A and B are shown apart, each in its own frame.
Chain A
Amino acid sequence: MTVVELTGVVAVLGSFPALAGVDLTVDQGEIVLLRGPNGAGKTTLLRVCAGLQPIARGSGTVLGCDLATQREEVRRRVGLLGHRNGLYLDLTVAENVRFWGATIGATPEELEAAMVRMGLAGRLADLPVRRLSAGQQRRTALACLVARRARLWLLDEPHAGLDAAGRDELDGILRQAAAAGATIMVASHELERAGSLATRTVDVVAGQVSEAVA
């Protein structure tokens, strides 16, 4: 089943064409690694697939929903972990996870499990996010993403800031999600680690994509 289908997609930030004509097809169950230099358009590509970034030219569907007209539905089905974590810095870890989990309808047990998974249970849970390290904040955001159980996961540099244990944990989560039927797209500079995880690698350069040869 095709999860993502983009044809000639141009996405514009202000007047700059971050994506200059992208053709991409992703099938269910794939773990796609997006690699490319800074400024290539990886983040914008993920945001387009998440239904956040409107398309200026071209067309696309994600999970069967048209990106021109049904972005709202796309967003509901997709889980995005962007550059920033989207947390409320004055609230505790537990309060953040509870809020985000509740807005997407996760049960308290699922949330608890997600927090344990990310090593956030215990003393850490009641600290305000502001006082956490960058890596711990990332884990909190990941816990929220895990609780979402979306069918398409979009991760923008998820490994950044995580320590070795965190990265292993993340890889485990991603493998598990893929095994459960989710499709995953990861933009990362961690080429070795993400490369071993991914079923497929796509090069993003200057707003266009191409399949990686090696």
Chain B
Amino acid sequence: MRSMVRTAWLVTRKDLLVEWRSRVALNQVLPFAAIVMVIFAFALDRFPGVPNPEEGSTGSLLETVAPGLVWLATLFSLLLLVQRTFAVEREDGALDALRAAGVDAAAVFWGKTIALALQLAVLEVLLLGTAVILYAVELRWSGAVLLVTTWLTATLGLAAVGTLYGGLAAGARGRETLLPLLLLPVVAPVLIGATRAVEAALGTGGTAIADGWPWVGVVAVFAVAFGAGGTLAFGPLIDE
């Protein structure tokens, strides 16, 4: 068991080190996510920055849907990050070599999941900041605990699911395009739950903070379910 944790930690460190060297997430995925946030405004809001009386709120449309947009941008970025992490493994046959060395697949799964989660977490914080700037979102202290909890559970759930399905789609050519088709339906509960929870944390549309906690429950169950599922299924899925 301890060696499994150690192996997972080695894999996490290795993934983060690769990212640190190549800076792909930093230089490509992050700007992509930011651009997505901007073009959401183009597509969705006729009068950005203007209060929307029909909505019955004092904020603009963008401010109202900001939590959803942040998570949407996160999901799109997740697709890119997953593709990237498995492309690194595929480049010189490293994942194959990991399998050949008899390294515990569950350890590899958790190692990659944690590394992915860490990158995703940073991305989400920055996206929230972007929302504050672009969509005039206002944060409040009272929602901080809810916000942080949502952030942690959702990120873990997304990373686990992404690594699992990424392993499936990582194989031969022609599989990469499968990833969005497989992944996006699966992450729907996280999208619904995390968005509602963040809405509660921010008080969007008058939502009370207490309303957010059931949603965190949904997301947490998701994270546990796919954490367990991934631990069991990752090995068989990447095996031949």
Could you give, for residues 1-39 of chain B, a 1 whenever the CB lies within 8 Å of some chain A CB and a 0 otherwise?
Answer: 001001100110110011001100000000000000000
Contact of B97 among A54, A73, A74, A86 (CB under 8 A): A86
* CB–CB B92/A87 < 8 A: yes
* CB–CB B94/A72 < 8 A: no
Number of A-B residue pairs with CB-CB distance less than 8 Å in the complex they form: 82
Tell me which residues across on chain A come within 8 A of B103, comparing CB atoms.
103-104
- Answer whether A84 and B18 are a contact pair too, CB < 8 Å, given A75-B100, A103-B98, A103-B101: no
* CB–CB B10/A102 < 8 A: yes
Q: Verify if A91 is at the interface (C-beta below 8 Å from B).
A: yes
Tell me which residues across on chain A come within 8 A of B21, comparing CB atoms.
90-91, 128
Closest-CB distance, A56 to chain B (whole angstroms): 11
Tell me which residues across on chain A come within 8 A of B10, comparing CB atoms.
99, 102-103
Q: Verify if B211 is at the interface (C-beta below 8 Å from A).
A: no
Q: Verify if A82 is at the interface (C-beta below 8 Å from B).
A: yes
How many residues of B are in contact with the other chain, CB < 8 A? 25
* CB–CB A104/B14 < 8 A: no
Could you give, for residues 67-106 of chain A, a 1 whenever the CB lies within 8 Å of some chain B CB and a 0 otherwise?
Answer: 0000011111111101111111111000100011011110
* CB–CB B88/A82 < 8 A: no
* CB–CB B240/A88 < 8 A: no
The list of the 10 closest CB pairs from A to B, nearest first, reads: A86-B97, A76-B102, A75-B102, A84-B93, A90-B21, A80-B100, A90-B22, A86-B94, A86-B93, A87-B92
Interface positions of B (Cβ within 8 A of A): 3, 6-7, 10-11, 13-14, 17-18, 21-22, 88, 91-94, 96-103, 240
12 A-B pairs with CB atoms under 8 Å apart are A72-B102, A75-B100, A76-B101, A84-B97, A85-B92, A86-B92, A86-B93, A86-B98, A88-B18, A100-B101, A102-B6, A103-B11
Supplied contacts A76-B101, A88-B88, A128-B21, 9 more A-B pairs, CB within 8 Å: A82-B97, A82-B100, A85-B97, A86-B97, A88-B91, A91-B21, A100-B101, A103-B7, A104-B103
